[in-house]
Structure 1
Amino acid sequence: MNALHMPRVSLRYWLTITMASLFGTNMGDLYAHELKLGIVAGVAVLAALAAVVFVAEKRDAAPRLLYYWLVIVIIRTGATNIADYERHHIRWPELLVCLGLAAIIAVFGALSLKGKSAQGDDTTLPSTGVAYWIAMLMAGIFGTVLGDYCSHAVGQGLASLGLGAVLVLLVAIWQVSGPLRFMLYWVVVAVARTAGTSMGDWVAENDLLNIGLPLSTALTGAAFVLCTLAVAKRQRALAAATA
């Protein structure tokens, strides 16, 4: 992906990634429940949509973040579908699946960070090639599996609070890590995906709010869009200041 289309890694970026996780969790459930395409056709449609975005991105030389965030949501939606299929049909042990996915994230995450150094710009994303998007998909599946496991173990509300606290702590550590921030990137992404799963399900399913999946998807989607606009506005302001 062209550097012009990639956001800077900042606190706003982490907030947007988290909101993308909530939205993708709700969107994935709504997509599967309403369209009923099945795992193969459903993932194939999402893969085709992602391919269209990548083709459009390659042809556009303007500095737009739209493409990056569209692919993030498409991948998160697909990850939710894949993880739910595994949980309901394949039924491998959740913790074993998480360990395997963590290993895959580590491998492809390391490949995406190849060439990064402590002397480099720690606010840039890893290289957004094939390895990056594979790691992002695996992080989404990991987060869905582990988030569901935590929600079933302690309840959606407590899981959301606990995972949210872990995420805040990791982002705080990332914030003070200076040039070593890039080493924490995939750890924070995986935790954001996990917290987003529990939070997204809690918003859609808890009796206190009682808003249901369609409205929850609309609300988390709106919050995600507002976050992306804030990131884009901040990035344009920084670009203008350095011009």
Structure 2
Amino acid sequence: MRISNVPSITPRYWAAILVASMCGANTGDFLSHNLHLGHTRGLLPLALLFLAILWIERLSRWVTEAYYWLAIIVLRTAATNLADLGAHDLKLGYDLLIGALTVLLIVAVAADRGGKRAEVNAVAAGVPATTPLYWLAMLTAGTLGTAGGDFIADEWLGLFYGAAILTVIYAATLAAAPHLGGMAKPWYWASIVVARTAGTILGDLCASRRGLNLGLPLSTALTATLLAGIIILWPRGRAPLVAPSKLGDATEP
């Protein structure tokens, strides 16, 4: 994506990521349960929709973050179904699923070393460099966060305690940003995973009968509206939480 269409990594970004995680958790469940697509039949349409978003963004002259956030929602929706597919349909078990996804995420992040001028410019601007490996890592982080959130809520703490504790952990992760030194890139992806985990539990808390019992349609609509409100009403800043030069490993060729 063009830099002008990618949000800078500010508190606004992290608020939107959390709400997008909640929304994507709900949309994933809505597709599989309410629309009766299961955990597999919706994946191909979601993949095509994601590619269409990137293609339209590439051709369009319209400058807007909507492309980025739509792509995030689509990936988050797919991640919800992929995690449920692995945990429930394939019965891989949370230990194996979380372990495998963690390894895949580490490999994807480590392989995304940058090097192209566009990626260098993105790092300098304090925005994510949206390479193919970035999107793969984002999908993997979303799937990992879904599996982790379901494990915490279903097997360990429950929805209310899980939501409270993960929200505190998320806030603490973001508060660590000024003290990172050279660890900004691992911090970014760790924060994404925590946001996905917290978003899964919070999304389920809103929709589930074990939580606020809003139902998937209403919870999806509310979280989508909240995300749109953050994007539209919260001024877009250019003061990243960490030094832009530390956000990636790209170096100008």
Matches within 5 A, 1:177-188: 177=180, 180-188=183-191
TM-score by length of 1: 0.88
Match in the other structure for 1:31:
31
Aligned match for 2:147, one of 145, 167, 170 = 145
CA-to-partner distance for each residue in 1:17-72, whole Å, 9 max, x for gaps?
Answer: 00000000011111111222233331001111111111100102332111110000
Match in the other structure for 1:67:
67
Match in the other structure for 1:162:
165
Match in the other structure for 1:129:
131
What is the distance in 1 between the residues matched to 2:77 and 2:90?
19
What is the distance in 1 between the residues matched to 2:200 and 2:211?
18
Q: Report sequence identity in percent.
A: 35
CA-to-partner distance for each residue in 1:80-114, whole Å, 9 max, x for gaps?
Answer: 01111222211112022111111111111223354
Please state how far the C-alpha of 1:175 moved relative to its aligned partner.
4.0
What is the distance in 1 between the residues matched to 2:236 and 2:42?
35
Q: Tell me whether 1:102 sits opposite 2:105 in the alignment.
A: no
Contact 2:173 2:191 in 1 (8 A): yes
What is the distance in 2 between the residues matched to 1:168 and 1:113?
28
Gaps of 5+ in 2: 241-253
Match in the other structure for 1:202:
205
| Secondary structure at the counterpart of residue 40 of structure 1 | coil
What is the distance in 2 between the residues matched to 1:200 and 1:13?
18
Match in the other structure for 2:8:
8
Residue 11 to residue 237, structure 1, CA distance change in 2 (3 Å): closer
Residue 66 to residue 178, structure 1, CA distance change in 2 (3 Å): farther
CA-to-partner distance for each residue in 1:132-165, whole Å, 9 max, x for gaps?
Answer: 0110001111011110000011111001111111
Question: What CA RMSD, in Å, does the superposition of the two structures yield over aligned residues?
Answer: 2.3
What is the distance in 1 between the residues matched to 2:185 and 2:238?
22
Gaps of 5+ in 1: 239-243
Q: What count of residue pairs does the alignment treat as equivalent?
A: 234
What is the distance in 1 between the residues matched to 2:184 and 2:61?
29
Contact 2:50 2:74 in 1 (8 A): yes
Residue 237 to residue 160, structure 1, CA distance change in 2 (3 Å): closer
Match in the other structure for 1:224:
227
Residue 34 to residue 158, structure 1, CA distance change in 2 (3 Å): same
Normalized per residue, which structure has more helix? 1
Q: Tell me whether 1:19 sits opposite 2:19 in the alignment.
A: yes
What is the distance in 1 between the residues matched to 2:233 and 2:182?
24
